Chains A and B, each alone.
Chain A
Amino acid sequence: AQSVAQPEDQVNVAEGNPLTVKCTYSVSGNPYLFWYVQYPNRGLQFLLKYITGDNLVKGSYGFEAEFNKSQTSFHLKKPSALVSDSALYFCAVRDQAGTALIFGKGTTLSVSS
């Protein structure tokens, strides 16, 4: 069965600095990987996905993520953080057979001004 690990409960960065939110996964076969963001009292919003192709994928709001098959990782990155990026971020995975989307426990990103 597939699983996702987000090793950091919280990531703190200063505005303007680069940010990284880590995610590792376990899945049979090739993974389908996703990042979602959740703001307080809001639903989950899709940010970006990796299905196949280029290991660096770009998504909404200037976020990007790098797929690394050998390290089974899919870290979320942004070159310059904004205070408005402060939110809860979730990594998710499904396998090639298209089974259920499984989420990590989430990482709280806090960007200080």
Chain B
Amino acid sequence: DTGVSQNPRHKITKRGQNVTFRCDPISEHNRLYWYRQTLGQGPEFLTYFQNEAQLEKSRLLSDRFSAERPKGSFSTLEIQRTEQGDSAMYLCASSLILTEAFFGQGTRLTVV
């Protein structure tokens, strides 16, 4: 197992465009998390799944953001109508229910 994998590693997009990121978790992990991190700040929780069910969404997650985890395996995070304020590192992590989370390298989004 190579750990949590995120693609793409970098994404530059024009304001107003839609973008989609993919996360492949550690295979036996049933929890999958999405976080957003800006420079010098801690990871900010966005949403998490247990298997295919999305159990919690942050109030910070606007309706332009949507996440899916079909079949409880990989997950996608889509941002519609991107804004400059969406520029950040998007982190994915996976875990078993009560254990530590393991993070991917992240996808750095730049909205121009």
Contacts and interface: CB of A to CB of B under 8 A. Distances in A.
- Interface size class on chain A is 20 to 34
Contacts, number: 50
Interface string B44-73: 110010000000100000000000000000
Interface in A55-107: 88, 90, 94, 98-106
A100 B98 contact: no
Contact of A43 (B45, B98, B104): B104
B33 interface: yes
Given A49-B100, A100-B56, A44 B33 contact: no
Contact of B45 (A44, A49, A102, A106): A102
A15 B48 CA distance: 39
A15 to B, nearest CB: 24
Q: Which of B35, B44, B98 is most buried by chain A, counting CB atoms within 10 A of its CB?
A: B98
Contacts of B48: 100
Nearest to A91: B42
Contacts of A32: 98
Nearest to A35: B100
Given A100-B33, A100-B45, A104-B42, A44 B91 contact: yes
B14 to A, nearest CB: 25
Interface of A: 6, 32, 34, 36, 42-46, 49, 51, 88, 90, 94, 98-106
Cβ-closest 3 pairs across A and B: A103-B42, A44-B103, A43-B103
